[in-house]
Chain A
Amino acid sequence: MIEQYLLAALGGSAVTAVIALTAHRVSRAKAARAPHVEANAQSDELSAAIARQDSLIELHQQEKRELEAMLDQLRDDLRQQTETAETLRVSLDAASADRDQLAQHADRIANEAQRLKGLGATFERWHEQMISLMTQNKDMHAKNQELSSIVRHVVIVSLNASIEAARAGTAGRGFAVVASEVRALAARSEELSKSYRNSLDLSDLTTTATFQDIQAGGKMIAASLSSVEALANQFQSKLHQATT
């Protein structure tokens, strides 16, 4: 009986143990299966996160490349701007130097024009010499007038001599020849005196016209030089205003 009871108890225990073992295995299997699923899910999430990260990294790298390209472009632009600024600075320096040079030229032109206006005094001096020449011409006119008067007197004297020679008859023939010769000489002298007067009149006109032309030309040049001087001063003044 006891054996039966023992067998029964052993049998019960064995069944219980088998059941417990089975339950334990099931439970273990369940316990073992749950982390695996969770690990798979986490693995998926991690993969997705990694993919997102990769995508972000790719995006950032793209942005980085773009920024680097932009930076290079900006560097190029800056270099070009620097070069342009340098060129402009050199040009400005050159323009400033040119402007200073132009101002100096304008100053020199104005000074030269001012100096050359002194030529007017030279023309006036020539004009005064014309007055002197004309005074000499007047003196020659007076002397020629006196000569003409003497010649006219000689003509009268020679005529009287011819008359007296005629009165003397044959005795006066020789004297008549001399009187006629004197009259002929007087007539030639009179012609010469008229011709000389004409020459003096022509000389008066050409001398006056020439020296007046010189005097008027001198005034014309002086007026032109005044214009040049005024223009040079205006130019200089504008350059000065541009500087300030």
Chain B
Amino acid sequence: MISSHAKDSFERIFRQAAQSRLTVDPNDVCDITPLARDDENVDSEGDVVVLTISSIEFRLILVLHFKEDSSTRDYYVREGSDASFQEVFLEVCNLCCGAMNQSLHEYFPDLGMSTPYVLHARSVTHLDQLKPAYLASHAVTINGTVQLSATVCVCAYAPIDFVANVSAAQETGGELEFF
């Protein structure tokens, strides 16, 4: 249902969005490595943020797994800020998914995006129940200290084949207001 080109495109669109939106500073180093989706690698501790991008042909579920440890909290919540970690992180996830939505919009004119929702990480172990046509997990490490993981799950309802042109200009683009 999803061509190899399309799978590769979803992967690159995610990487571009994660590198540009999950980091607070554009100069921060963001390493993204693939994770095999087996029981050992699927961390069922902590919470996840779930967002959905819907189109006529597919729905994409972005799951961002986080642990509210001191390094993660200190990275995202700046000193003096009144916002809670969850508020700030939800907005970061919103921007990341919004960047993916914007990239996908070039190939799928009819798209909509949900608001984020927090679930227990155990729920992610059931993603296979949604019968995804594409399911990939990645470990995301920022500046060597902040450990996140992300899962992209695409359920297809029509044949999907596209080649995303993810340019360097987009990767280094400034902050955009998506919502």
Most chain A beta-carbon contacts within 10 A, residue among B52, B53, B61: B52
Q: A218 near B112 (CB under 8 angstroms)?
A: yes
| CA A217 to CA B120, docked complex, whole Å | 24
From residue A119, how far is it (CB to closest CB) to chain B in Å? 12
Binds A, one of B16-24, B83-91, B126-134: B126-134
Proximity string of chain A (194-232) to chain B, C-beta cutoff 8 Å, 1 when within and 0 when not: 000110011011101100110111111111100000000
- Whether B146 sits at the interface, judged by CB under 8 Å, is no
| CA A58 to CA B21, docked complex, whole Å | 102
| CA A19 to CA B36, docked complex, whole Å | 167
Q: B123 near A216 (CB under 8 angstroms)?
A: no
Q: Restricting to A134-192, which residues have a CB under 8 Å from any CB of B?
A: 134, 141
Asked whether A209 and B112 contact (CB < 8 A) given A201-B126, A204-B123, the answer is no
Among B55, B61, B111, B125, point to the contact of A209 (Cβ < 8 A): B61
| CA A68 to CA B160, docked complex, whole Å | 77
Which residues does chain B contribute within 8 Å of A212, judged by CB atoms? Answer: 50-52, 54, 61, 114-115, 117
Proximity string of chain B (99-137) to chain A, C-beta cutoff 8 Å, 1 when within and 0 when not: 000000000001111110101101111110110000000
Which residues does chain A contribute within 8 Å of B73, judged by CB atoms? Answer: none
Which residues does chain A contribute within 8 Å of B124, judged by CB atoms? Answer: 205
Q: A213 near B52 (CB under 8 angstroms)?
A: yes
- Whether B67 sits at the interface, judged by CB under 8 Å, is no
Q: A216 near B110 (CB under 8 angstroms)?
A: no
Interface size classification for chain A:
20 to 34
| CA A219 to CA B101, docked complex, whole Å | 12
Which residues does chain B contribute within 8 Å of A127, judged by CB atoms? Answer: 114-115
Q: B123 near A205 (CB under 8 angstroms)?
A: yes
> Which residue of the partner chain B has the closest CB to A134?
B117
Among B115, B125, B130, point to the contact of A215 (Cβ < 8 A): B115
Which residues does chain B contribute within 8 Å of A134, judged by CB atoms? Answer: 117
Which residues does chain B contribute within 8 Å of A197, judged by CB atoms? Answer: 122
Among B54, B111, B117, B126, point to the contact of A213 (Cβ < 8 A): B54
Q: How many residues of B contact A (CB 8 A)?
A: 26
Q: A217 near B112 (CB under 8 angstroms)?
A: yes
Asked whether A216 and B127 contact (CB < 8 A) given A201-B120, A208-B119, A209-B52, the answer is no
Which residues does chain A contribute within 8 Å of B119, judged by CB atoms? Answer: 204-205, 208
| CA A190 to CA B59, docked complex, whole Å | 36
Asked whether A209 and B130 contact (CB < 8 A) given A204-B119, A220-B54, the answer is yes
> Which residue of the partner chain A has the closest CB to B108?
A220
Q: A223 near B120 (CB under 8 angstroms)?
A: no
| CA A215 to CA B122, docked complex, whole Å | 23
| CA A209 to CA B51, docked complex, whole Å | 8
Q: B130 near A216 (CB under 8 angstroms)?
A: no
Most chain B beta-carbon contacts within 10 A, residue among A206, A216, A220: A216
Q: Restricting to A10-53, which residues have a CB under 8 Å from any CB of B?
A: none
Which residues does chain A contribute within 8 Å of B123, judged by CB atoms? Answer: 201-202, 204-205, 208
Which residues does chain B contribute within 8 Å of A213, judged by CB atoms? Answer: 52, 54, 59, 114
Shortest Cβ-Cβ A-B pairs, 5 listed:
A220-B112, A219-B112, A216-B54, A212-B52, A212-B114
Extra contacts besides A205-B50, A213-B114 (19): CB < 8 Å: A141-B120, A201-B122, A201-B126, A202-B123, A202-B126, A205-B129, A208-B50, A209-B59, A212-B52, A212-B54, A212-B61, A212-B115, A213-B52, A213-B54, A215-B114, A216-B53, A217-B112, A223-B112, A224-B110
Interface residues of A (CB under 8 A from B): 127, 134, 141, 197-198, 201-202, 204-206, 208-209, 212-213, 215-224
Pull 20 A–B residue pairs with CB atoms less than 8 Å apart, ordered by A: A127-B114, A134-B117, A198-B122, A198-B126, A201-B125, A205-B130, A206-B129, A212-B52, A212-B115, A213-B59, A215-B52, A215-B112, A217-B54, A217-B112, A219-B54, A219-B112, A219-B114, A220-B54, A220-B111, A224-B110
